[in-house]
Structure 1
Amino acid sequence: MEIAIGIDVHKEKCAAFAKFAGKGEPRPRHEEFLEKFNERFRRFDSDYRGMTELADFLRDHSVHILIENSTKSQDVYWMLRGLGLEVTVAHATDLKHITESMNKNDDNDAAKLAGYMRRRLWGEIEFARCYIPMQEILLQRELCRYDLRLRSELTALKCQIRSHMLIRGWKLTRDYQNIVCVAALRELNAADIDIFKFDVAKARYLKQLVAETDRALRARMETNRMFDIIWSIPGFGILSASYMTCMIDDISRFRDGKSLAAWMGLTPKLDESADKPKNCGITRRGIPR
């Protein structure tokens, strides 16, 4: 049996709905199967176990799954693909009946996604597919985000150390630009104050993690020509160059430099009134295409 399935994806739970997508009218046993599926997978876990149960239930059927692009959709896409299912990720801008619906909930969204997929299989509509990076690229992005979180935590620790020094009226022998440099941490540790010792231990630990993460990023980007070009631009470090490289991924998917700038949100917003165009500030948000 040919089945069109819509899955409304969320962080912890998903909602699925299936519709008959074959030719003619569904047979009674087909209708019974679809009813069981819709009841069983009205809510199911977004993890690998939940996706495995869904794939096992649909075994021996021709399945076409449609999900809306979101932060979780890439993980779900690769889980379902790994289980041998055909999956399409569509842009929200092409699913207007869902995004503009006045009766929006998980069940209705899943049913409408299934309807979209069925109409596409019947050749009635077409919609743009999202670009889904390879799993290796997704892992690199997570590594960049982890590095960024470590750096943010280290920055917060610098403020915390200065606050502890101010409360105790304690000063370093010199005004260090980087208060977690080796010399500054050595002075803080020698002060023999408990809170300073804790700060020093945490700073050294975070600095070690940042250094190891940077080495891992550099090793992953060792043969990447685009990374080398971006890293050569003044102001770019290993983290920023790595993050931009793995976010762009395949540069050939952009028509030209203008498309890349629009995707990055660097293009100015256009405000037009009474045939008088006016360029405003940059959009700071990319076009999902």
Structure 2
Amino acid sequence: MKEKACGLDLHKKFILAAIIDQGGTTVEHRFSRTQTDLFALRDWVLFHDCEVVACESTSDYWIQVYDLFVGKIPVIVGNARDIKAISHKKTDIIDAIWIAKLALHDLIPASRIPDPETRDLRSLIRLRKFLVEKRTDLKNQVHHILDSCLFRLSTVFSDIFGKSGMLILTGVTDGKSIAEILATLPVRTRKRSEEIQSILETTLPELAIIRMQCCLNLIKELDNQIETLMQRVHQCVARQTRLLRILTSVPGIGYIAAVTLIAEIGNFTNFSSGDKLASWVGLVPTVNQSADHLRMGAITKRGSRTARWILVEIAQAAVRTRSSRFHAFFTRKVGVIGFSKAIVAVARKIVTILWHLVVNDEEYEETEGNRKQEIRIPKAKQPKFLTLNEMFRILAEANIFLKQSDPHGGG
């Protein structure tokens, strides 16, 4: 049994720390979320001879605290649902003392902490997801502008943001004539020039053009930023080619879905079974049992929200593959439990299969010898390394440049 524990109530701008011992004596202190105060927090905890530090997994605030203490004192990062205080009052100091009490008696289930490399990859993937969602919002705004002006470009192109669609939209915002816009289109698209011309004859108001140009510029910038992020992602997963091959062998999983699973789940072997992994992701039902009454409720939705989201997306893609076992499984379930629950059931089935494949180093096969066509895995662009002679040459040129006098009289 521990003699002394520290509980931390984490906030955006400050941390409230409380230390409690077996006799019930408490010591509290408030620290700012600055680098100096974080080191002061560590020294304060170590000075009081605490045997464990505990905190909630609040946003990303716990990461700096975890890295601060790891290797020096045991750190428990717990789910907020498991640490909720039972009190008629709620204050920061009550929360910190309650966390310390739970840690003192080993009553906080420790959350799974990924390694730094996985955390970095996860931050990249989540930022990419955020940017893609913003890009989608902008594309929907462009659709709204065009539809409100009766500019029905979507009746000709399934994706107006493809190559031909973007040439037309850019031409319209640049003020080009109909003939000039048609001349820029690929030969294959010109076969539908009559339909396109009838749409281009619709006059767009000046304000609509300004709004659309603003959206298109932002979409292009987001495309560039997403591409930059993906180059870094390629570098992060460059040594995990085998794992990518295993994951992408499953129907519905492409490269983006595979790297998202790697980022969110990390090491699959940390889980003792596929069911444990499904439970961690939050794809298992809640259970309420009393005497002879057993009620299975909605899924728990614990764990990574992003992992749960991508697994549902994978399930929806997998059931569209009519020759797959997932489609057959979905067809059996959908008539009984409905579309949404059937998709979640497929997602859970997929995550348990993924665990088995990764742990046993196997690729998915529908039938013996019948494998999904391999997906091309992008290669990371390696940064250029300079030789020693090249470095000396660059330094010499920089030295010559610095010795030159300022032509504007700067000396």
> Which TM-score applies when normalising by structure 2?
0.56
Residues 10 and 62, structure 2, Cα contact 8 Å, conserved in 1: no
2-side partners of 1:286 and 1:250: how far apart? Answer: 15
RMSD between aligned residues? 3.4
Q: Confirm whether residue 184 of structure 1 aligns to residue 172 of structure 2.
A: no
The 5-angstrom pairing of residues 111-150 of structure 1 reads 111-117=97-103, 119-120=104-105, 125=106, 127-150=108-131
Partners in 2 of 1:16 and 1:194 — Cα distance? Answer: 53
Point out where structure 1 has 5 or more consecutive residues left out of the alignment: 26-30
Aligned to 2:368: none
For 2:255 and 2:36, how far apart are their aligned partners in 1?
A: 36
Secondary structure of the 2:261 match is: helix
Q: Deviations over 1:176-227 (max 9, x none)?
A: 2222222211111111243333332222222222223223223211222433
Alignment pair present for 1:55 and 2:36: no
Residue aligning to 2:58: 70
Aligned to 1:203: 219
Separation (CA, whole Å) in 2 of partners of 1:16 and 1:172: 59
**Whole-Å separation in 1 of the counterparts to 2:154 and 2:125:** 36
Q: Which structure has the larger Rg over C-alpha atoms? A: 2
* Bigger mean CA offset, 157-166 vs 82-91: 82-91
Residues 19/159 of structure 1: CA separation in 2 closer, same or farther (3 Å cut)? same
Which range is displaced more, 167-176 or 236-245? Answer: 167-176
SS at match of 2:161: coil
CA distance in 2 between counterparts of 1:49 and 1:109 reads 24
Q: Residues of 2 paired with 1:220 and 1:62: CA distance?
A: 39
Give the Cα separation in 2 of the matches to 1:270 and 1:111: 30
For the structure 1 residues 81 and 141, does the alpha-carbon distance in structure 2 shift closer, same or farther, using more than 3 Å as the test?
A: same
The reply to whether residue 17 of structure 1 matches residue 18 of structure 2 is: yes
What secondary structure does 2:50 align onto? strand
Stretches of structure 2 that go unaligned for 5 or more consecutive residues are 176-208, 305-411
C-alpha contact (below 8 Å) 1:8/1:15 kept by paired residues? yes
- Aligned letter for 1:106? D
Aligned to 1:88: 76
> Do the aligned residues in 1 keep the contact of 2:284 with 2:300 (CA within 8 Å)?
yes
Partner SS for 1:186: helix
Moved more, 143-152 or 165-174: 165-174
Distance across 1 between alignment mates of 2:288 and 2:74: 41
Contact 1:161 1:199 in 2 (8 A): yes
Distance 1:135 1:45, change over 3 A: farther
Of stretches 268-277 and 236-245 in structure 1, the one that deviates more from structure 2 is 268-277
Answer yes or no: is 1:5 the counterpart of 2:22. no
Q: Give the SS at the match of 1:62.
A: coil
User: What secondary structure, in the 3-state scheme, does the structure 2 residue paired with 1:63 have?
Assistant: coil
The superposition leaves residues 77-136 of structure 1 with CA deviations (integer Å, 9 ceiling, x where unpaired) of: 3342269554222455664xx53333332101212333344x44xxxx565322211222
Distance 2:113 2:235 in 1: 23
Q: Secondary structure at the match of 2:153?
A: coil
Question: Contact between 1:7 and 1:17, CA under 8 Å: does it hold in 2?
Answer: yes
Amino acid paired to 2:157: Y
Contact 2:102–2:108 (8 Å) recurs in 1: no
TM-score when normalising by structure 1? 0.76
Cα distance, 1:282 vs. partner?
3.9
State the distance in 1 between where 2:154 and 2:67 align: 56
Equivalent-residue separation in structure 2 for 1:173 and 1:116 (angstroms): 58
Q: 1:257 maps to what in 2? A: 274
After superposition, residues 168-179 of structure 1 pair within 5 angstroms as: 168-172=149-153, 175-179=156-160
Q: Deviations over 1:212-260 (max 9, x none)?
A: 3223223211222433322332322333322221221122221211111
Structure 1 residues 77 and 219, CA, compared in 2 at 3 Å: closer, same or farther? same
Which letter maps to 2:265? Answer: I
Alignment partner of 1:15: what SS? Answer: strand
Deviates more, 1:79-88 or 1:257-266: 79-88
Find the residue that maps to 1:66 and give its secondary structure: strand
- What one-letter code is carried by the residue in structure 2 that aligns with 1:262? S
Greater CA drift, 76-85 or 238-247: 76-85
Q: Percent identity?
A: 24
What amino acid does structure 1 have at the position aligned with 2:166? L
How far the C-alpha of 1:145 sits from its partner, in A, is 0.9
